[in-house]
Amino acid sequence: MLIYTVRRLGLALLVAIAVSMVSFMLIRMSGDPAIALAGENASAEEIEYVRQQYGFDRPVIVQYLDWGYRALQGDFGESPYFNQPVTTVIGDRIGVTMTLGLCALTFAVLLSIPMGVLAATRPNTWIDRTALSISVMGQAMPSFWFGLIMIIFFGVYLRWLPISGSDTWAHYVMPTIALGYYATPAFMRLTRSGMLEVLASDHIRTARAKGLRWPKILYKHALRNAIIPVVALAAVQLGFMLGGSIVIESVFAIHGIGYLAWQSIGRSDLPVVQAIVLLLSIIYVFLTFLSDLMNAFLDPRIRVR
Amino acid sequence: MKTAETVIESTESGLGLEVVFPTPGQIMRRRMTRHKGFLFGGGVLVLVLLMAILAPVIAPHDPYHQELTQRLIPPIWGENGTWQHPLGTDNLGRDYFSRVVYGCRISLLIGFACVVIAAVIGAGLGLAAGYFGGRVDMFVSFIITVRLAMPAVLVAVAVVALIGGSMQIVILTLGCLIWDRFAVVLRATTQQIRSMDYIPAAQAAGCSTFWIVSREILPNLLNNLVVIATLEVGRAILLEAALSFLGMGVQPPTPSWGLMISEGKEFMLFDPYLITIPGAALFILVLGMNLLGDGLRDVTAPEGKA
C-alpha cells in the first residue's frame, strides 16, 4: 500500500507540474500578454511599462520558474482589475464554489444511487426504463438551458425561489439541481451495472438461500460491493463539476470562482484566469489521487498493478 | 442472387422441416428496425441534416434580416402570433424560425468538425499507446491525465477569448480538448486486439507496423470509433452552445442556438419562447445523437451491451 501511495503521489506531482505549464502557456497563446493587460487603447510606453512591471521581457522559462516558485508560496501576483493579490480575490470566492460543488455532488448521489439500485433490482420493468430515460435526458440537456428554464418556472412563475445571488441556502437550490443533474446519468449507470453484476454473483445466492431478508442482502451484501467504483467516480465528478460551474454560476450570478473566471476573461484580468485554471486543475489532480487511494484501500487487488 | 437466405434442409429429422438461417445483413437490419433509440436518433439526424441542407428552401425569411417594427412577435400559439413568423421574432425583429433552421447548420458543422479533429488526435494517441505499450503507453496515459485535469469549458472560454471568437477558432479549440474519450477507449480496445493471435501471425509473415496497424487493427476499431464519434458529436454541440452562451464562442449575428439563448436571456421573463425554442432544438439534436450512438453500439455489438 505504501509503495502504491508513493507511486501515485509521484504521478500526481508530475501531472500537477504539467498542468501548471499548460495554464502558464495558455495565457501566452494570444501573443503578447502585455498588450492584453494594458488594454486596447494603450500607448507604446504604457505597454512597455506593463511588460517590465510583469517581467514579460524576460525569457519564458525564467518567467515560468518565477511564477511557479511564487505560486508554490501562494502568491499569484496582483490582479490589475481589483488591485488586490489574486490569492485574496480567489480566496473570497472559492467557498461559494466549493459549497455549490459539494451540494451538487450530494444531490446527484442521493438521486442516482437509489434510482440505480431500483433499476437493477427490477431490470427491464417500467422503473428501469424510467430511470434510464431520466439519465438519457440528463446527458442531452444543456445545463445552462435547464437552469434558465428553472428560473422561469420556479423563480418567476411560481415565485418559490430567488433567481440570482448566493446569500441564503434557497439561492443554492436551483444551481445545485442544474449542476448536479448533469452528473446523475454517470452515477446511475454505474450503480445499475455494478448492482446487476453483484446481484448475479454466488454470495448473493448464498445469502438468499440462508434466508436473509431482501433489504439486508441488498444494502449489506450487494450495494457495498457495487458502490466502490461509484465512490471513485464521485471524486472525479466533483472535479468536473467545479470546472463546469463557470456556466451555472454565470446563469445564476453566483459569486464563486467560475463567475469570477468568466468576468476576468472578459476584462483581460489574466493573472486571475491563470490562477483559477491552475487551481481547478490541481483540485482535480488531488481528487483523483484521493479516489485512487480510496479504491486501493477498498479493493486490495488494485494495489498489485 | 434470388434470395439472400441460406436454406438448410434438415434431412436428418426426416420431418421435412426447413431451418432458415438469416444472413448477417438481415440480422443487422432486424436489430436496427427493432431498436427504438436507434430509429429515433437516426430519424432526428436525418431530419436535421435535411434541415441544414434545405435551409434556404425551408426558412421563410433571411435569418439576418432585421425588421425593427416587427420586434418580439410571439410564436403562432401565443397571442398576436402570425403565420408570417411561425416561431415569432427576436428583439431585433429577425424571424425566429429562420434563425432556428439556419442554427442547425452551425451546430452540425461545429459538432462534426470538432469530432473529426478529436478523433484524429485521440485515435492516434490511443492506437500508439495500445499497440506499442511500455514507455509510449505511459507517456500517452500521462497526457490523457493532464488533459482530463484541465477544466475544459474554462480553458476553451479563455482560449477563444484571447485569440478571438470565430467559427474556426471554436472548432480547433474544442477539437483539441475533447479527444480524451477517443484516446481512452481506443487504447483499451487496441490492447485487446493486440493480444489476438492474428497480430503475431502478421508479424511473422513480415508485415510492417504500418500495415498491421492500418490493415489488421484499424478495421477492428472502426466500430468503436464510429460509436464514440457519434456520442462525442453530442458533447461537442453542447460545448459549443455553452461557449456561445457565455459570449466566447460563435459571434453575433450568426444564428447559433447557444447564442440565441444568450441573446434571449434578457427578454426571457416576458418572452420565454426566445430561450425555450433554441434550447429544445439543442436538446432534441443532442438526445438524437446520444441515442443513435448507444443504438449503433447495441446494433453492431450486442454482446457487449450493459
The minimal CB distance from B153 to the residues A243, A276, A288 is found for A243
* Local mean pLDDT, 10-residue blocks, chain A (305 residues): 84 88 77 67 75 73 81 78 82 87 90 86 83 84 88 79 72 85 86 84 81 79 80 84 86 87 83 87 88 79 65
Any B CB within 8 A of A35 CB: no
HEC per residue, chain B: CCCCCEEEECCCCCCCCEEEECCHHHHHHHHHHHCHHHHHHHHHHHHHHHHHHCHHHHCCCCCCCCCHHHCCCCCCCCCCCCCCCCCCECCCCCEHHHHHHHHHHHHHHHHHHHHHHHHHHHHHHHHHHHHHCHHHHHHHHHHHHHHHHCCHHHHHHHHHHHHCCCHHHHHHHHHHHCCHHHHHHHHHHHHHHHCCCHHHHHHHCCCCHHHHHHHHHHHHHHHHHHHHHHHHHHHHHHHHHHHHHCCCCCCCCCCCHHHHHHHHHHHCCCCCHHHHHHHHHHHHHHHHHHHHHHHHHHHHCHHHCC
Q: Measured between alpha carbons, how far is residue B105 from residues A123, B96, B255, B282, B286 in Å? A: 39, 15, 9, 12, 14
Instruction: Render the burial of A234-259: b for 16+ CB within 10 Å, e for the rest.
Output: bbbbbbbbbbbbbbbbbbbebbbbbb
User: B7 in a domain, yes or no?
Assistant: no
Any B CB within 8 A of A132 CB: no
Q: Could you tell me which of B189, B173, B184 has the C-alpha nearest to residue B140?
A: B184
Residue from B38, B162, B178, B262 whose CB has the most chain A CBs within 10 Å, to mutate: B162
Low-confidence ranges of chain B (pLDDT < 70): 1-18, 81, 302-306
* Bond into B253 cis (ω within 30): yes
Q: What angle do CA B155, B160, B162 make, to 5 degrees?
A: 95
In angstroms, rounded to a whole number, what is the distance separating the alpha carbons of residues B212 and B189?
15
User: B13 in a domain, yes or no?
Assistant: no
* A281·B151 Cβ contact <8 A: yes
User: B147 in a domain, yes or no?
Assistant: yes
In angstroms, rounded to a whole number, what is the distance separating the alpha carbons of residues A185 and B257?
24
The minimal CB distance from B275 to the residues A14, A136, A148 is found for A148
- Which string of DSSP letters, residue by residue, matches A24-65? HHHHHTTS-HHHHHH-TT--HHHHHHHHHHHTTTS-HHHHHH
B-chain CB neighbours of A143 within 8 Å are 242
Q: Which pLDDT score, from 0 to 100, does residue B2 have? A: 40
| Conformation bin of residue B298: beta by default, left when phi > 0, alpha when psi is -120 to 50 | alpha
Virtual CA dihedral for A244, A250, A253, A254, nearest 10 degrees?
Answer: 20
φ, ψ for residue A78, nearest 5 deg = -115, 140
Dihedral of alpha carbons B278, B279, B282, B288, sign: negative
* A145·B283 Cβ contact <8 A: yes
Q: What is the CATH number of the domain that holds B265?
A: 1.10.3720.10
* A277·B146 Cβ contact <8 A: no
User: B2 in a domain, yes or no?
Assistant: no
In angstroms, rounded to a whole number, what is the distance separating the alpha carbons of residues A245 and A147?
12
Q: Which pLDDT score, from 0 to 100, does residue A60 have? A: 76
Instruction: Render the burial of B50-73: b for 16+ CB within 10 Å, e for the rest.
Output: ebbeebeeebebebeeeeeebebb
Q: Could you tell me which of A243, A238, A274, A278 has the C-alpha nearest to residue A258?
A: A243
Q: Which of residues 136-155 of A touch B (CB under 8 A)?
A: 136-137, 139-145, 148-149, 151-152
* B276·A276 Cβ contact <8 A: no
* A262·B246 Cβ contact <8 A: yes
Q: Say which amino acid occupies A289.
A: F
Q: Measured between alpha carbons, how far is residue A209 from residues A150, A202, A217 in Å? A: 48, 10, 11
In angstroms, rounded to a whole number, what is the distance separating the alpha carbons of residues B281 and B257?
8
How many other C-beta atoms lie within 10 A of the C-beta of residue A158? 9
A-chain CB neighbours of B294 within 8 Å are 136
B-chain CB neighbours of A261 within 8 Å are 154, 157-158
In angstroms, rounded to a whole number, what is the distance separating the alpha carbons of residues B298 and A234?
27
Query: Cβ(B32)–Cβ(B286) under 8 Å?
Result: no
Instruction: Render the burial of A108-126: b for 16+ CB within 10 Å, e for the rest.
Output: bbebbbebbbbbbbeeeee
Dihedral of alpha carbons B147, B149, B153, B155, sign: negative
Q: Which pLDDT score, from 0 to 100, does residue B9 have? A: 47
φ, ψ for residue A234, nearest 5 deg = -60, -45
User: B24 in a domain, yes or no?
Assistant: no
Q: Say which amino acid occupies A17.
A: I
B-chain CB neighbours of A154 within 8 Å are none
User: B9 in a domain, yes or no?
Assistant: no
Q: Measured between alpha carbons, how far is residue B243 from residues A262, A280, B112, B128, B248 in Å? A: 11, 18, 16, 32, 5
Q: Which pLDDT score, from 0 to 100, does residue B5 have? A: 46
The minimal CB distance from A137 to the residues B158, B247, B287 is found for B287
Q: Which pLDDT score, from 0 to 100, does residue B113 have? A: 93
Count chain A–chain B contacts defined by CB atoms under 8 A.
131
B267: domain range? Answer: 34-300
How many independent structural domains does chain B possess? Answer: 1
The minimal CB distance from A15 to the residues B149, B234, B276 is found for B149
Adjacent-strand bridge partners of A79: A84
Q: Would the ipTM clear 0.90, i.e. be above it?
A: no
The minimal CB distance from A29 to the residues B145, B162, B275 is found for B162
In angstroms, rounded to a whole number, what is the distance separating the alpha carbons of residues B118 and B229?
9
In Å, how far is A53's CA from the nearest CA of chain B?
21
| pTM of full prediction above 0.80 | yes
Query: Cβ(B104)–Cβ(B47) under 8 Å?
Result: no
Any B CB within 8 A of A158 CB: no
User: B21 in a domain, yes or no?
Assistant: no
Q: Which pLDDT score, from 0 to 100, does residue B208 have? A: 85
User: B28 in a domain, yes or no?
Assistant: no
